[in-house]
Structure 1
Amino acid sequence: MGASLNEIKQRINSTKKTSQITKAMQMVSASKLTKSETHAEQFQIYAEKVREIVTHITRTQLTKIAKSSNPDELDFNSMLISRPVKKTGYIVITSDGGLVGGYNSSILKQMMNMLERDHESASEYVMIAIGGTGADFFKARGINIAYELHHLSDQPSFEEVRKIVNLTTSMYQNEVFDELYVCYNHHINSLTSQFRFEKMLPITRLDPEEATEYEQEYIFEPSKEAILNQLLPQYAESLIYGAIVDAKTAEHAAGMTAMKTATDNAINIIDDLTISYNRARQGAITQEITEIVGGAAALE
């Protein structure tokens, strides 16, 4: 019985140490989540302003595209025109490591279902992976990765992702693929995230009716077309960057939730082990008393 008591006591002590670690990791993830939510809110202000400007400048073109029976024949920026899809580009955003619950598995499961449903062979799509978990997952299944990015900071700056967002917009303009989707978990709140499958290119989510009317119209120099050639790639890049910021926020929330669950489970285990320890100890004491009483009775 003594050995059993020692074993239970060791398990209680080791579980307490584990709960202290998971509690600390929960607090770290909570701090990261708060900073990431602030970062995302600040970026959203910028993104909305850029969208407002782009919608205003492209209003005329968007209206003509909507009314045209053959938009691909219009001499507009290629980022506004849908073309026949020969190959699709995917940016899949996952974490670099584990300890984030089902964050990665939900994304990768959805992605595999879509690839199997929408494509007959790997030649029909181009895969770009942000995060080591997704890159390793696809490589293990024989899916080629055109480009991969690892070890983003907790609040990634645009400079960190500039290369990959520039690359993807250039690949679209050079017709390496004909449409681009970003696949990631969208942050809703600290307990909930939702898989998102967003079309980034061509830019089709602009509504000309949302265009802001100004008392003074812009003066374009050198020309509206030249400005759009610079502005539209930047707008597309901001959409991709926004998805990365959103995904990183969801990752921190998933990490915090996973560590909280682990801490709660450890506490439950400690409670159960403590009950078992007390019962075993009570049994040992009862047995010792019985042996003493039995011995005393034998001497009478």
Structure 2
Amino acid sequence: MANLKEIRSRITSVGSTMQITSAMKMVSAAKLKRAQDAIIQLRPYANKLRDILENISSTLDSDAGGKLTIEREVKKMLVVVITSNRGLAGAFNSNVFKIANALVVENSVKGIETELMTIGKKGFDLMRKSNTIYKNESSLWDNLSYENVAVIADEVTEKFLAGDYDQVRLVYNSFKNAATQIVMDEQYLPVQIVKSESGAAQSVDYIFEPSKEEIVTDLIPQALKTQFFKAILDSNAAEHGARMTAMHKATDNADALRKELVLQYNKERQAAITNEILEIVGGAEALDS
């Protein structure tokens, strides 16, 4: 059984840990507000851009968007794994790792060669041990902006157009709320053009200038960059939400542990005082006899 000095030391240690986790929770809460505002503002634009692309392309041929929309036999795939640079966020990074690793294993069974692009140090550290890493773009989190994301999106698109990869997929955490993150595995390239079942024209007859084909061709690169940026912002907000939740639970657990240790300390202290009193009484009786 631990003595009083050891219990006091543990109480102090748990108290210090609780201060750290509480501070990290507050920092993550502040960052979450900004990250949440960013993704909420982008989503309507991204969704509307996708709807316009789908509505215009629904009456066009599948190859109307050029090489970016042509499906081809998948022999080599690039998986973009989006994680964080820092830990202490619960299962935020490990959930992405599980999905990405399962995709790699599935491709291996099908005979598809898989390479990874990692955005986030945690994903790079987890995936590099047993996978081929094409590139690590962890520095993106140091200066997150649309311009920097667009550079990476253009590079991935060029690799696809050059035939280096037959398919590109994004694996990341989508932000739902502070306590819930949904791991997404979505196809980035080739762009999937949604074609109407009937092939009929739209219910509202628009006059397009320029032509539908030109509009789709111009919209696709913009839609790709927006989709990539949306995935990054989703992951950023999800990370802060996951860390805030994890630190909140850690603080609660530390508080409960400290209370248990204080109770144990008081019991041990009480027992020690009782033993000392018994020894004094016993000694006094021995002197009297």
Taking structure 2 as the reference length, the TM-score comes to 0.88
User: Which one of 87, 94, 99 corresponds to residue 105 of structure 1?
Assistant: 94
Change (3 A) 1:154 1:14: same
1:218-257 matches, cutoff 5 A: 218-220=208-210, 224-257=212-245
CA distance in 1, matches of 2:222, 2:18: 46
CA distance in 2, matches of 1:103, 1:135: 14
Report the secondary structure of 2:186's partner residue: strand
Change (3 A) 1:113 1:51: closer
User: Which one of 80, 102, 113 corresponds to residue 124 of structure 1?
Assistant: 113
1:59 and 2:58 matched: yes
1:277 and 2:276 matched: no
CA distance in 1, matches of 2:74, 2:272: 76
1:139 and 2:138 matched: no
1:214 to partner: Cα distance? 5.7
1:85 to partner: Cα distance? 1.7
Equivalent residue, structure 1, for 2:28: 29
CA distance in 2, matches of 1:227, 1:204: 16
CA distance in 2, matches of 1:23, 1:155: 26
Equivalent residue, structure 2, for 1:38: 37
Change (3 A) 1:25 1:215: same
Change (3 A) 1:288 1:75: closer
Equivalent residue, structure 2, for 1:189: 177
User: Which one of 257, 265, 278 corresponds to residue 290 of structure 1?
Assistant: 278
8 Å CA contact 2:149, 2:225 repeated in 1: no
Which stretch shifts more, 45-54 or 84-93? Answer: 45-54
| Residues 23-48 of structure 1, C-alpha deviations (whole Å, 9 max, x = no match) | 01011112222221111110012112
Amino acid of the structure 2 residue aligned with 1:218:
F
Change (3 A) 1:92 1:34: same
Taking structure 1 as the reference length, the TM-score comes to 0.85
1:151 to partner: Cα distance? 3.7
1:208 to partner: Cα distance? 4.6
Change (3 A) 1:245 1:150: same
1:52 to partner: Cα distance? 3.1
CA distance in 2, matches of 1:173, 1:194: 30
Report the secondary structure of 1:79's partner residue: helix
1:50 and 2:49 matched: yes
1:172 and 2:160 matched: yes
CA distance in 2, matches of 1:182, 1:163: 16
CA distance in 1, matches of 2:267, 2:193: 65
Aligned residues: 286
Report the secondary structure of 2:117's partner residue: strand
Change (3 A) 1:76 1:261: closer
1:267 to partner: Cα distance? 0.9
CA distance in 2, matches of 1:56, 1:298: 100
Equivalent residue, structure 2, for 1:79: 68
CA distance in 2, matches of 1:292, 1:205: 90
CA distance in 1, matches of 2:6, 2:56: 73
1:170 to partner: Cα distance? 1.5
CA distance in 2, matches of 1:149, 1:201: 19
1:175 to partner: Cα distance? 1.7
8 Å CA contact 2:173, 2:238 repeated in 1: yes
Change (3 A) 1:298 1:112: same
Equivalent residue, structure 2, for 1:7: 6
Report the secondary structure of 1:119's partner residue: helix
Which stretch shifts more, 247-256 or 224-233? Answer: 224-233
**Unaligned 5+ runs, structure 2:** none
| Residues 213-243 of structure 1, C-alpha deviations (whole Å, 9 max, x = no match) | 66652321xx554443332111112112111
